[in-house]
Amino acid sequence: MSQWQYRPHRGGGMRSFFHRQGKFRPRSSAEATSDSPIPEDLWVKCPKCGELLYSKELDHNARVCPKCGNHFRLGARDRIAILTDEDTFVEWDTGLRPEDPLEFVDPKGSYSDKLAATQAKTGETESLITGIAMIEGRPVVITVTDFDFMGASMGSVWGEKLARAVERATADGLPVLSVNASGGARMHEGLFSLMQMAKTVAAFGRLGDARLPHFSLLVDPCYGGVTASYATVADVILAEPGALIGFAGQRVIEQVTKQKLPDGFQTAEFLLDHGMIDLIVERALLRSTLAILIDHHIEIPPESNPSDNGLVPKRTLVEPEPEVRSRHGAGSREGQLP
Amino acid sequence: MSQWQYRPHRGGGMRSFFHRQGKFRPRSSAEATSDSPIPEDLWVKCPKCGELLYSKELDHNARVCPKCGNHFRLGARDRIAILTDEDTFVEWDTGLRPEDPLEFVDPKGSYSDKLAATQAKTGETESLITGIAMIEGRPVVITVTDFDFMGASMGSVWGEKLARAVERATADGLPVLSVNASGGARMHEGLFSLMQMAKTVAAFGRLGDARLPHFSLLVDPCYGGVTASYATVADVILAEPGALIGFAGQRVIEQVTKQKLPDGFQTAEFLLDHGMIDLIVERALLRSTLAILIDHHIEIPPESNPSDNGLVPKRTLVEPEPEVRSRHGAGSREGQLP
Amino acid sequence: MPASRLANDATAGTHQAPLRAIDRVRIARDPQRPGTLDYLAELFTNFIELHGDRAFGDDQALIGGVATFNERSVLVLGHQGGANTRENLARNFGMPRPEGFRKSRRLMRHAEKFGLPIVTFIDTSGADPGISSEERGQGTAIAESLLEMVGVRVPIVCVVIGEGGSGGALAISLGDRLLMLENAVYAVASPEACAAILWKDASFAAEAADTMRVTAADLQRFGIIDELILEEVAAHEAPRETVAAVGKRIAFHLDELLNIWDASDPASVDALLDARYARFRNIGAWHEVS
Amino acid sequence: MPASRLANDATAGTHQAPLRAIDRVRIARDPQRPGTLDYLAELFTNFIELHGDRAFGDDQALIGGVATFNERSVLVLGHQGGANTRENLARNFGMPRPEGFRKSRRLMRHAEKFGLPIVTFIDTSGADPGISSEERGQGTAIAESLLEMVGVRVPIVCVVIGEGGSGGALAISLGDRLLMLENAVYAVASPEACAAILWKDASFAAEAADTMRVTAADLQRFGIIDELILEEVAAHEAPRETVAAVGKRIAFHLDELLNIWDASDPASVDALLDARYARFRNIGAWHEVS
Ligand SMILES: [Zn+2]
Ligand SMILES: [Zn+2]
């Protein structure tokens, strides 16, 4: 029934989604080029339709295949760049660092060594980035996972960063947008990892008590503890087309059940059909959709003056046109009815 | 999975369920004897196992077949007799009478004529009886439907009686037990009938706001508007074994879907398996089960003295025995563990 | 606009001889009559449909979402059938399954959390009577939607725009105002079902429709609806005018409710709920003898 | 009592040489170890099981009901596997499906409405990983149970009595107190699964169990559990003594909570919830650089 998914009209032509905000240079996603002999900085083969795409053009299209609409994975910084207004993102809590309370050792070595190597490779300190930004002029607390950082596994720093961000949103009366990809728990942090599910749900519970909205955007792939905690108890749950979303991983399910998985199992479209998400939104329409959603869910007290405080959201996305205002009157507006 | 249904241990031997409370003489249910050539006041053939049962013995067993456990239907007065403590039932709002706002006419005549005939035949004025009674010493507001009265169809008097009873329970801090059999809406009252669903749910909503419990007992057969209103939003939903419970009737479903109904469709056991009811209770255990449920859901403020006021429920069903009190101590009590 | 398939269609307006109840039933069911999606397109902006019951499925026979109405964000709920076979299969001919009612309950809670007034459009022949709907608790799902609706702490305006069929209609009609188009009907059972039960013959639907009193005029006389919205021309002949007229009346009643309701003032919310309780508490035809 | 199937079982008590983590995993999974129903039978009276999620099914892997504990009515929730094949099929080996978590959420709301403190027994290898559980939103169901539990306005005491497996265990473990038997384990994933992922070989489960720190002693050291309940003799060897010991500690902690909580005093309830929030808010191993 994906024909019923939300597809608002596109306004105007395509725009460049990457604002080139200094350090937020788009990086190619590793998964898209892994089995391609072509240098990744020039050409990318679409894994869905097989089309060879010029990498810069793909970037220009927010890494959505212009031929088949396949949504390539996006790095966390790229994600922030396409979702938020240029130069508005302010990152929070960049000094938080993981520890190794279990003194975890696996055949490849210690957790500490793995962390150091990952940090060096990615340039990030952890798998969650938090901060505040504007989306079409509306201030939003935003949390974005980084799948390149240990498969966006949820550990203590994730939990702490997220709780701090959500608590600030609660205190300041701001909506929260969480962008969620994850491979699940971070095994190396043992039960500390599992308990971050409790910590994050609790923080969002308090946001909800304050009647502030949480918009959760599920992107490919989103599994395990994140799917089983705050990402699926949001007020509005959005997903990108084709994103794989589930609790148990597909390989585990196949091994345990010895059954063939149904077609489209765990895709965003599958979840929509099964009632688990509110809407699927193409990447190009995410900003405008989020802007409308924010307007519907954040109320400005009548006495406040939006112009006084840059942090107060605007009430309406688009100023109502005169003919819209009078649509109950003379009936001059052309509707969709015959 | 009916093996998991609730079956507390029976205390003591069988007792006579009919207290012979003057006018509450048990009547044989019409449906049980309709295709039997034997005089209904002497012998009854069990429709489930075929056993010929002596009617007085069946009455003595609360109209449960001693051979196969089949629960025969019970009239409303019989139901009150087996559920409540002897001579404690006080009926409310006996003066309410239906009207005929639609001036409804069908091939058999007017609604007014049908009502008069039904009243004369049954000795009841409407299909719902309400009042207050004690169940093992605990005061309970009780509402019982009478399937013999126009198939216990829900009309305006039902709604008004029920709302008054529930409002009194709310005001007096009493639990409500509703015993529900119904053939559905009373067609002859048109939309007035449908709106009684709203009226009754609203009244129970206010009982719930006061944190007073509603126990709903679903008995054979329970269909239509009652199943789609207050009977299924109770705090605890009980059903008698084998009772048929559903929204749409079986004939309608077969006609619309042209499908064969699955075995056991719409039985109490089917509903338990599908998560719709809390427990199935044999008729013989209803009183004791309800007594425990009342105790778990009605709180006595610490300062109140139960002996001061006959209307304050007792806190515990059975005084704890000394060895139960000390069961965390020396471990002398024999448990179920090896 | 296709030619009318109703014999006496020119008389559907109020300025002609009154129609029989069964004629209004046919008009109410006319597939060309504007449906929930038409009202959404014409009267609301910034609509975002919210899908799913978060437990089993997404029912396209009962849709909902957030939208802007008169510069205010509201929650919209409504039944929606299909315009063709493919759509009717997807939307189950506008007959909600338990998932639809569970979605409506979820969205009503959502509206309460964010202080969004609720507007509902009633247009269904009834709740789905299938085997799987029974398995998943059709009765329970309707009851839970009713319970939510009588207690939800935001103003609600409901409009019967087509056929109001039994419990499936009731489940989203327990508002602070119940409006009804002149040619809409609202009944405890379909005239065909009623005739089948009482006449043992569904072809007596016309007789059943008469005696069941299913028209807006009947229900206005009984005090069950708050307002009858005239169709100068029947809605399927003048869809845009009808939708506009309905929009005006929704706006009027919503404004009235918003004048007395303030989400931040619990006393005003309690007053709204007391009035809603009284609405349903007082519906009934009975007398009392001593 | 059958003879022990554990090689070094005589050392399961604390007064012997400490066991390896994997030994405790095996003890925790021993089918003779008392389960939720045993605790119910020994420690509670007047138990009435409440069934169903009111939407799809009744999950017998996660049971619940009302009961009397120390002369007070409480709500009990717990995982329950089977003692034999038939029971294991009925109870899905103690692995809850979405219906189980939805039932637990329903019953927690029930407990809140009637002011019943909650006691939970955690004993599951994890949430069911099947296709149909995914279809019905396993992740969503767990998340909703978590959200309910962190906010429910009654005191909660949780006890890990056997295996605490990942999200399926967490879903009913967010209480005001988390107690744990000495030979119980609680892990983010089974040691076998962890070994399969990190060693590419499930037979390294012993190594995985060591480094994952799954024992009660580890979790006590980390401050994640509030109390370790000693097993002088392992629970499967001394079930009644173990159950009695757990009962005493539940009673102690429940009394402590009931001393500060009064359902009719919102400030005391808020204080309880603030403390619960702080419990989970403060769990984590991180440091901050400038
Ligand atoms: Zn492509
Ligand atoms: Zn029999």
Q: Do chains A and B touch (3 or more CB pairs under 8 A)?
A: no
**B323 at interface of C, judged by CB pairs closer than 8 A:** no
B97, B162 contact by CB (below 8 A): no
CATH of the domain at D252: 3.90.226.10
Q: pLDDT (tens digit, 9 = 90+) per residue, A324-338?
A: 222 222 223 333 454
Determine the Cα–Cα distance for residues A70 and A68; give it in Å rounded to an integer: 6
What is the Cα–Cα distance from A148 to A133, expressed in whole angstroms? Answer: 22
Separation of alpha carbons D286 and D290, rounded Å: 13
The arithmetic mean of pLDDT across residues B81-98, rounded, is 97
Q: Give the pLDDT of residue B5.
A: 30
- Do A195 and D198 count as a contact with CB atoms less than 8 A apart? no
D119 domain-assigned: yes
Separation between Cα atoms, residue A80 and residue A22, nearest integer Å: 13
* Least confident segment among A32-41, B226-235, C160-169, D152-161: A32-41
Domain count within chain C: 1
What is the rounded distance in angstroms from the CA atom of residue D264 to the CA atom of residue B29? 47
Q: What is the DSSP letter of A56?
A: H
pLDDT at B299: 75
Please report, for residues A300, B206, C175, C178, C267, the alpha-carbon distance to residue C261 in angstroms, rounded to integers and kept in the order given.
17, 20, 14, 18, 9
pLDDT at C16: 58
Which of C133, C137, C174 lies at the smallest CB-CB distance from B276?
A: C137
Residues of chain B numbered 262-291 and touching chain C (CB < 8 Å):
262, 265-266, 270, 274-276
CB contact under 8 A, C60 and A1: yes
Contacts of A103 in chain D (CB under 8 A): 211
pLDDT of C265 strictly over 90: yes
* C chain contacts of residue D141, beta-carbon cutoff 8 Å: 55
Residues of D with CB under 8 A from a CB of B: 1, 34, 38, 41-43, 45-46, 48-58, 60, 66-68, 71, 73, 90, 99, 103, 110, 113-116, 239-241, 243-244, 247-248, 251
**Per-residue confidence band for A40, with pLDDT thresholds at 50, 70 and 90:** low
**Residue D2 included in any domain:** no
Using CA coordinates, name the residue in chain B closest to C185: B191
Residue range B204-220: average pLDDT? Answer: 98
Q: Angle D119-D193-D124 (CA atoms, 0-180°, nearest 5)?
A: 20
CA distance C192 to C210: 12
pLDDT at residue A42 in the model: 87
- Ligand 1 center to A45 CA (angstroms): 8
Mean pLDDT estimate for chain B:
82
Inter-chain touch B276–C127, beta carbons under 8 Å:
no
DSSP-derived letter for residue C266 is H
The chain D residue lying nearest B6, using CA atoms, is: D49
- Domain assignment present for C124: yes
Give C29-32's long-range contacts (Cβ < 8 A, gap of 24+).
C29/C125, C29/C162, C29/C163, C30/C5, C30/C6, C30/C234, C30/C235, C30/C236, C31/C81, C31/C83, C32/C1, C32/C2, C32/C236, C32/C239
Average pLDDT for A35-48 = 72
The three state secondary structure string of chain B is CHHHCCCCCCCCCCCCCCCCCCCCCCCCCHHHHCCCCCCCCCEEECCCCCCEEEHHHHHHCCCECCCCCCECCCCHHHHHHHHCCCCCCEEECCCEEECCCCCCEECCEEHHHHHHHHHHHHCCCCCEEEEEEEECCEEEEEEEECCCCHHHEECHHHHHHHHHHHHHHHHHCCCEEEEEEECEECHHHHHHHHHHHHHHHHHHHHHHHCCCCEEEEEEEEECCCCCCCHHHCCCEEEECCCCEECCCCHHHHHHHHCCCCCCCCCEHHHHHHCCCCCEECCHHHHHHHHHHHHHHHCCCCCCCCHHHCCCCCCCCCCCCCHHHHCCCCCCCCCCCCC
The whole-number pLDDT of residue A145 equals 98
Q: Chains B, C: CB contacts under 8 A, how many?
A: 186
How far apart CA A47 and CA A29 sit, in angstroms, is 12
Write the DSSP assignment of C25-88 as a string of letters: HHHHT-TTS--HHHHHHHH-EEEEE----SSS---TTEEEEEEEETTEEEEEEEE---SSHHHH
CA distance B157 to chain C (A): 6
The pLDDT of A199-226, averaged and rounded, is 98
Inside any domain, residue D290: no
Give the DSSP letter of residue A311: T
Interface membership of C109 toward D (CB under 8 Å): no
- Calculate how close chain D gets to C50, using CA atoms only, in Å: 16
Ranking B160-174, B205-219, D17-31 by mean pLDDT, the lowest is D17-31
Q: Which helix (H) or strand (E) holds A156?
A: helix A156-172
User: How high is the mean pLDDT of chain A?
Assistant: 82
Do residue C57 and residue A327 have CB atoms under 8 angstroms apart? Answer: no
* C270's tokens: 């309690």
pTM of the model: 0.89
Answer for the pair B214, B175: CB distance below 8 angstroms, yes or no: yes
Write b or e for each residue in C130-166: b if 16 or more Cβ atoms lie within 10 A of its Cβ, otherwise e.
Answer: bbebbbbbbbbbbbbbbbbbbbbbbbbbbbbbbbbbb
Burial class (CB in 10 A: 0-12, 13-18, 19+), C60: buried
CB atoms within 10 A of CB D71: 11
Handedness of CA C141, C143, C144, C146 (dihedral sign): positive
* Nearest Cα residue in chain B from C284: B156
Per cent of chain B over pLDDT 90 is: 72
Least confident of A179-193, A202-216, B295-309, D271-285: B295-309
Q: How confident is residue A68, by pLDDT bands cut at 50, 70 and 90?
A: very high
- Nearest CB partner across the interface for C48, out of A279, A316, A325: A279
CB contact under 8 A, C114 and A297: yes
pLDDT category of residue A216 using cuts at 50, 70 and 90: very high
Q: Three-state SS for A89?
A: coil
- The alpha carbon of A48 and the centre of ligand 1 are apart by a number of angstroms equal to 5
B279/D51 Cβ within 8 A: yes
C5 found inside a domain? no
Residue D9 covered by a domain: no
DSSP3 helix / strand / coil % (chain A, rounded to 5): 35, 20, 45
Number of neighbouring beta carbons within 10 Å of residue A236:
24
Give the single-character DSSP code of A313.
P
Token readout for A47 is 């894994």
User: Does residue C169 fall inside a structural domain?
Assistant: yes
Q: A304 pLDDT exceeds 90?
A: no
Q: How remote is the CA of residue A73 from the centroid of ligand 1, in Å?
A: 13
Cα distance between residue B43 and residue B59, in whole Å: 11
Considering only CB atoms, B276 lies closest to which of D41, D43, D54, namely D54
Q: What is the mean pLDDT of chain D?
A: 93
Average pLDDT of the residues in B185-189? 95
DSSP string, A204-259: HHHHHHTT--EEEEEEEEE-TTTTTTGGGSSSEEEE-TT-BB-SS-HHHHHHHH--
Cα–Cα distance between A198 and D166 in angstroms, integer?
12
pLDDT band at B337 (very low <50, low <70, confident <90, very high): low
As given in the structure block, the two tokens for residue C179 are 């409006």
Mean pLDDT of C21-35: 95
pLDDT for res D197: 86
- C194–B187: do the CB atoms touch at under 8 Å? yes
Residue A145 Cα, ligand 1 centroid: separation in angstroms?
24
How big is chain C by its Cα radius of gyration, in Å? 18
Cβ-nearest to A190 among D213, D277, D289? D213
For B185-198, give one letter per residue: b (16+ CB within 10 A) or e.
bbbbbbbbbbbbbb
User: How far away, in angstroms, is A60 Cα from ligand 1 center?
Assistant: 15
Q: Among A237, A234, A236, which Cα is nearest to A205's? A: A234
| Stretch (H or E) spanning A134 | strand A128-135
pLDDT, mean of residues D260-284: 97
**Torsion sign, CA atoms B123, B126, B132, B137:** positive
A235 CB near a chain C CB, below 8 Å?
yes
Closest CA to B95 of C69, A325, A165, C288: C288
In this complex, is the C-beta atom of B168 within 8 Å of any C-beta atom belonging to chain C? no
Of the candidates C280, B132, B337, the one whose C-alpha atom is nearest the C-alpha of residue D235 is: B337
The per-residue DSSP string of chain D comes to -PPP--TTGGG-STTSSPPPHHHHHHHHT-TTS--HHHHHHHH-EEEEE----SSS---TTEEEEEEEETTEEEEEEEE---SSHHHHHHTGGG---HHHHHHHHHHHHHHHHHT--EEEEEEES-S---HHHHHTTHHHHHHHHHHHHHH-SS-EEEEEEEEEEHHHHHTT--SSEEEEETT-EEESS-HHHHHHHHTS-GGGHHHHHHHHT-BHHHHHHTTSSSEEEP-SS-TTTSHHHHHHHHHHHHHHHHHHHHHH--TT-HHHHHHHHHHHHHHHHT---EEE--
Touching partners of C (3+ C-beta pairs < 8 Å): A, B, D
CA angle A259, A263, A269 (to 5 degrees): 130
- B and D touch with 3+ CB pairs <8 Å, answer yes
Q: Which residues pair with B215 in a beta bridge?
A: B177, B236
Within a domain: D206: yes
DSSP SS3 for C288: strand
CB A270 within 8 A of CB A264: yes
At A337 the pLDDT is: 57
Distance from CA of D56 to the nearest CA of B (A): 5
**Amino acid type, A165:** A
Q: Could you list the residue range(s) of the whole structural domain that residue C134 is in?
A: 17-281
Q: Alpha-carbon torsion D199, D204, D209, D210, what sign?
A: negative
Average pLDDT over residues C231-241: 95
- Residue-wise pLDDT for C95-112, tens only, equals 999 999 999 999 999 999
